[in-house]
Amino acid sequence: MGPGKRGLITAAVAVVCAVTVLTAPGTAFADPGPTPAPTAGVTPDQDAGVTPDQDADVTPDQDLEAVRDRLDRLYREAAAATDAYNAAEEKAERQSAEVVELAAKIVEGQEALDALEQRAAAAARSQYRTGGLPDEAKLMLSDDPAEFLDGAGRVIQGQRAAKGLLGQLERAQAALKTYAADAADHWQELEANRKAKAAAQRTVEHRIAAAEKLESALAKEEKERLARLERAAAERAQTAWLDSGALDGAGADATEQGAKAVKYATAQIGKPYVWGAEGPKAFDCSGLTSRAWAAAGRGIPRTSQEQWRQLERVSTEDMRPGDLIIYFDDASHVGMYVGDGEVVHAPRPGRAVTVTGAGTMPILGVVRPEA
């Protein structure tokens, strides 16, 4: 095998190793754990490459409603960035598998090409041993009619075999070039996706850090009052939603599959929210719903935005336990309807999986995982 061929196989093996490193647990893209404090002198938003918010340092003596609004916005932005991170991670896993598959095809293709070249070399050596005369010339020198006819058949067969061998060589070389080009394209996509995932991770961490900083600046009494304001706002929203007749005609009974999904999701109540987590010890919002439906035997998209985009949409009036309620205009949050006007969901960092009124957040729509 020539140095060029060895290089191709070495490169293919290197691709497999590199992909393994990129996607292995414990790399720079694993769960970051406790949120780090922002770097001194650089605001999280500046480091993430976005315009910094002027109201990032709301002081405790300001109106707590403004604080609540600010916290809601920070956690919603963190949720949207979490969706972006989860989507990038899902794509990276798929692209990694494709790169590994292509690398294996490169190695197999090179081995096939080597075997074909060895056959061609053997044919050339055989011709050399016969004095370099082509079969056609030797045939014309024969005086025996029977030998002539027999030789003519061998010449035709030899020509067909040589032509077939050349065709196989050309196809093998073309396939090898295609695999190499595809692997390079997939590698570039994987690298771009890695950067997108890293940017989303920074945004999530910075938004959560800003929210935690804002909450930590409040006195104990202010935190308690803030919690009361949040509960009151949720109760008002839920009451208004129920009074609107949104649940008129809603089904009370789940299908067998839906009941399994609800059972799994409600069994996770009390487990902490961790962005990017999909169990078994912690969940983010779409990690909970996707894992619950996987436990029920139905694979669904990983992120709330893809769940909204890909799953069958149903009206609120027609929803039943197990259906997913998508929240906010950007589909950045999701909960599972469990009946009686309630959802089970993983709310946000610092909170645990819980059951709450389905109308406590702005509803974008309802989707049904079952086909």
Residues labelled as active-site residues: 285, 333, 345
The first and second tokens of residue 297, run together, are: 């035997």
Instruction: Give every CB contact of residue 319 below 8 A, 6+ residues apart in sequence.
Output: 250, 251, 325, 337, 366, 368
Beta strand 354-357 with 312-314: parallel, antiparallel or unpaired?
A: unpaired
C-alpha separations of 258 from 67, 255, 286, 297, 365 in Å: 38, 5, 16, 10, 18
Geometric angle at alpha carbon 172, from 167 and 174, rounded to 5°: 95
Q: Determine contact, residues 316/250, Cβ cutoff 8 Å.
A: yes
Structure tokens at 370: 């079952």
In a 13 Å sphere around the CA of 78, the CA atoms on its Cβ side amount to: 27
CA 318/CA 271 separation, integer angstroms: 30
Cis peptide before 280 (omega within 30 of 0): yes
